[in-house]
Amino acid sequence: MTVTQHRPVTREKAATRKLPGVGRSRRELLAVVALVVVVVVVALISPDMSTTAAFTMTFVLLGQSWNLISGLAGPLALGQAAFFGITDFTILVLRTHGVNQYLGIVVGIVASVLLALIVGLATLRLPGFFFAIASLMVPLIIQAVILYFGFFQVERPFSPEDTPGDFNFNDPFVYLCIAAVFVLVAAVVTMVVKGRRMGRYFQAIRENPRAAEASGVPTFRYKVYAFLIAAVFASLAGTFYSQLTFVFDPLDAFDPTVSVQALVVTLVGGAGTVLGPVLGGVIIIPLTQLARTYLFQLPGLDQIAYAVLLLAVALWFPRGAYPTVARALRNRKERRCG
């Protein structure tokens, strides 16, 4: 019971009055930069590698989206595919009508944020379980509506020349580099948010929404904020996805598998951390992409891989790679220090 005795605060003690975790976030950001640089360098090997790397960055962004709402702020969002798909769809439809792609991207992101606002205001007040069900159904509903209006498949207009003024490049390496920049931006945003008022509220809500509210946190409002930021990240993922694939199919873009990928990427790396989604994405997406390209030609095998991975993570490995390793290292260090 020594801790309960009242002791005067010594100068030495005062010097340790530094908030924990801030240094860790910075180190994580360095690791993110390093990983992204490695991916970009590896991508220089061949155009195939560039494509794989660009997909990797796309799904890292989707993971970062899920990480912000569910890893950091708490509410279990199972329908991030909605924001991913709506942006993809908007950009393509506008493009087929000859609208400049930059404008299309902006409209796509705005549409996604508006959707997040409506869904968030309607459902984030509900207890976690009901929010999870509702969020799972959002992409399915949008899918039904889009199919109803007859957009079974939207082909991407193809132009053989690079037109940077229309965000059109034929070398996937260019998309990779831009996506990599946005992954870094999302990581920085996550880190900054984490250290500030907003991130502290998020984490309190994640740990215990009732106690957070009783401690003065406007939990509903901040859950909506988290949902909106997450929608922007998912939209960015949708933006790059729209440039890297040839056909938009609502049955694929809004499939629960897309949302599952967001979960897998984050949970394998470690939810709630800055590094987690990047680490998880860099481990998983290239593996499944390469396996699909070179090993098996069976349809839907990557879906099976993601589902099995997610099941395994949920059952046996809930912490994720980075926190597990970090904890083990910390314990070793503590043991060595005495």
Residues 96-135 that bind other proteins (CB under 8 A): 122-123, 126-130, 132-134
| DSSP three-state, residue 228 | helix
Question: How many C-beta atoms surround the C-beta of residue 335 within 10 A?
Answer: 8
Among residues 14 and 336, whose Cβ is nearest to other proteins?
Answer: 14
Compose the 144-183 pattern: x for residues touching other proteins by CB under 8 A, - for all others: xx-xx-----------------------------------
CB of 84 to other proteins, least distance (A): 15
Q: Within positions 67 to 86, which residues make up the interface with other proteins, using CB under 8 A?
A: 76, 78
Residue type for position 230: A
Instruction: For residue 4, state whether it binds other proteins (rule: CB under 8 A).
Output: yes
Residue given tokens 């950009």 in the structure block: 91
Return the residue of 94, 184, 189, 310 that touches other proteins, per CB under 8 A.
310
Toward other proteins, which CB reaches closer, 112 or 135? 135
Of 29, 187, 212, 279, the one binding other proteins (CB under 8 A) is 212
Task: Answer for the pair 204, 217: CB distance below 8 angstroms, yes or no.
Answer: yes
Establish if 197 lies at the interface with other proteins (CB under 8 A). Answer: yes
Member of 170, 208, 293, 324 binding other proteins (CB under 8 A) = 208
- CA distance readout (Å), 195 to 26, 61, 67, 73, 179: 10, 20, 15, 13, 25
203 is written with which tokens?
């984490």
Residue type, 11: R
- The binder of other proteins chosen from 247, 314, 325, 328 (CB under 8 A): 314
* DSSP-derived 3-state class of residue 76: coil
Beta bridge partners of 154: 248
Would you give the distance in Å from CA 82 to the centre of its chain?
13
- How far, in Å, CA of 104 to CA of 246, rounded? 17
CB atoms within 10 A of CB 304: 13
DSSP 168: B
Of the candidate spans 31-39, 137-145, 229-237, 280-288, the one that interacts with other proteins by CB under 8 A turns out to be 137-145
Half-sphere exposure of 216 (CA within 13 A, CB side): 3
Q: Taking CB under 8 A as the rule, does residue 260 contact other proteins?
A: yes
Instruction: Tell which positions 263-302 bind other proteins, by CB under 8 A.
Output: 263, 267, 298-301
Residues 10-69 that bind other proteins (CB under 8 A): 13, 16-17, 19-21
Stretch that binds other proteins, among 92-100, 102-110, 189-197, 279-287 (CB under 8 A): 189-197
Q: How far is the CB of 211 from other proteins (least distance, A)?
A: 4
